[in-house]
Amino acid sequence: MSKITAAITAVGGYVPEYVLTNQILETMVDTNDEWIVTRTGIKERRILKEEGKGTSYLAIQAAKDLLEKSNTDPKDIDMVILATATPDMPVAVTGVYVASQIGAVNAFSYDLVAACSSFLFGMSTAAKYIESGRYKKVLLIGADKMSSIIDYEDRATCIIFGDGGGAVLFEPNEEGMGVQDEFLRTDGVGRPHLKIDAGGSILPASAETVANKQHYVFQDGRTVFKFAVSNMADVSEKIMSRNGLTGEDVHWLVPHQANKRIIDATASRMNLPEEKVMMNIHKYGNTTSATLPLCLNDYEKQLKKGDNIVFAAFGGGFTWGSLYLKWAYNSN
Ligand code: UT7
């Protein structure tokens, strides 16, 4: 019997309707369109405005899109993993609520937290459940309502992030398609450089922490940028070399959408032309856990069975890594 590999068999995505453009941001903080575009590549991002709606809403919409497009019965799903850095609330697992809301009544679920690498690490986790032979349909959703943790008076962070959700379905494959290899890394040296100080167990919420704006994302952008550029390129190069892949063999790079300059540097180290790099940062910004599946959703129609795809991400912690996957189907 051939080895079971874990293939992606369907994708879905969702972004909220409200568009926060660079021009609108110019009226909110001391910034300008030219600075944002040249430093990050971002022109606009989507924001979930409606009160009472959290990350679960984005995740549910993305999952429903996948279920509808692929004609999947939610009752057949064995497991739902929600990759997110912005759960609806502490303790009550957001993924569990999402699974119930989409009708995945026979699934178990949990959230997976690895900052901007949550979805990449989630791909690794989902694949292991499939490869074990015990589970047949694992739904991996990446969703973040970044606007819930961003200070819209801080120009260093508010220009970067957006809200969104994306989903992929993993199923067993016996033709060798799906996840081939992964190289995942972490380093606690990153903790001071990208974090939220309050609201966790070290500094629980209080009137003082709210007054001090300590519930918002703090990022030392320059330091994170330096680590992201070298580490994302290193792991992508590594996964190529240990699988005997050249730039010619790789059909697509699916990079975390944090900054176009980081993506360009990674693609250049991999010897990949622009046409092979999935990019949607200009319209969504950095949606944290949703960047990779939203890329797949946008580019799905261009993907062909057997395509060699390298995923790469970098995020808070620090967390980073790359994953090599063979695409399993032709669209239409
Ligand atoms: O997804 C998780 C991982 N996160 C990342 O990968 C993000 C990594 N970091 C970055 O993408 C970049 O560091 C940023 C986009 C956040 C910032 O770009 P940068 O080129 O590193 O800018 P900088 O922080 O070094 O700031 C350069 C200048 C500063 O002015 P001075 O000190 O040179 O006078 C800033 O005050 O640009 C200024 N600046 C701005 N100007 C206009 C910072 N933010 C803005 C702004 N608009 N929004």
Phi-psi region of 55 (alpha: psi -120 to 50; beta: other; left: phi over 0): alpha
Enumerate residues 6+ apart whose C-beta is below 8 A from 49.
16, 18
Pocket flag, ligand 1, residue 259 (CB < 6 Å)? yes
Q: What is the Å distance from ligand 1's center to 156 Cα?
A: 6
165 closest CA partner among 274, 10, 325, 48? 48
Peptide bond into 161 cis (omega under 30): no
Q: Distance between CA 52 and CA 259 in Å, rounded?
A: 30
282 labelled catalytic: no
CATH number of 179-326: 3.40.47.10
For the segment 57-96, what is each residue's pLDDT rounded down to a tens digit? 999 999 999 999 999 999 999 999 999 999 999 999 999 9
Take residue 87 and report the two structure tokens written for it. 């759960």
- Please check whether residue 304 is in contact with residue 330, taking contact to mean a CB–CB distance below 8 angstroms: yes
CA–CA distance, 164 with 144 (Å, rounded to integer): 6
Q: Can you tell me the mean pLDDT for 106-127?
A: 98
CA of 151 to the centre of ligand 1 (A): 15
User: Of 22, 158, 173, 256, which one is the catalytic site residue?
Assistant: 256
Render 91-155 in DSSP notation, one character per residue. Answer: SS-HHHHHHHHTT-TT-EEEEE--GGGHHHHHHHHHHHHHHTTS-S-EEEEEEEEGGGS--TT-H
Ligand 1 centroid – CA 40 distance (Å): 9
Residue 166's DSSP bridge partners are: 13, 142
Chain mean position to CA 30: 28
* Per-residue model confidence as pLDDT tens digits over 131-171: 999 999 999 999 999 999 999 999 999 999 999 999 999 99
179-326: same fold as 5-175? yes
Write down the pLDDT at residue 3.
Answer: 86
**Per-residue pLDDT tens digits for 15-47:** 999 999 999 999 999 999 999 999 999 999 999
* CB of 190 closer than 8 Å to CB of 228: no
Verify whether ligand 1 is closer than 6 Å to residue 15 (CB atom).
no
Distance CA(156)–CA(309), nearest Å, equals: 32
Task: Tell me the pLDDT tens digit for each residue of 278-288.
Answer: 999 999 999 99
Domain ranges of the chain: 5-175, 179-326
Active site residue 286: yes
Q: Which CATH number fits domain 5-175: 3.40.50.720, 3.40.47.10, 3.30.310.160, 3.30.70.20?
A: 3.40.47.10
Candidate list 22, 280, 286, 297, residue with the active-site label: 286
Please answer whether residues 167 and 139 qualify as being in contact, where contact means their C-beta atoms are separated by less than 8 angstroms: yes
Q: What is the C-alpha end-to-end distance of the chain, expressed in Å? A: 30
pLDDT of res. 158: 98
